Amino acid sequence: MLVKLTEVCTNGAVTTRQNYMLREVFVNPQHVIMIREDKMIQELNERGLVSDGLDPTHRFSKLTINRGHTGTDIVVVGEPTVIETELNINLPSAGKKLLRG
C-alpha cells in the first residue's frame, strides 16, 4: 500500500535562488530505509522561502528510498516521528516495524 505525503521539491533550475514548491508524492513504506530531520529546509521555511501556505514552525524529514543499488532522497513535510508513524500504520503486516534499533 502506498502512503501519500507532501514533498518539497525545487524547480530544477540551477540558479543562485531556487524556487521551492510542494507536491503530492506516493511512497511505498517497505522501501524507506532511513528518515532524518532536514534542518536546511526548515530554516528556509522560517525565512518564507519554501511556500507561502506553510506555517514557519513546520518541520521536515528527508526520506531515503531504496532503489536497488542506490537510494533516492526526498524531503517531505512532517517531523520524523510523525512520518515514521504514518509509514508504519500503512505497512501490510501489522507486526512489522519500519525502523529497528
Tens of pLDDT, residues 66-83: 988 888 999 999 999 999
- pLDDT given at position 13: 60
Strand pairing partners for 32?
Answer: 65
The pTM for the full model equals 0.81
**54-61 own/partner pairs: CB under 8 Å, 24+ apart:** 54/22, 60/8, 61/35, 61/36, 61/37
Average pLDDT over residues 35-46: 93
pLDDT of residue 51: 80
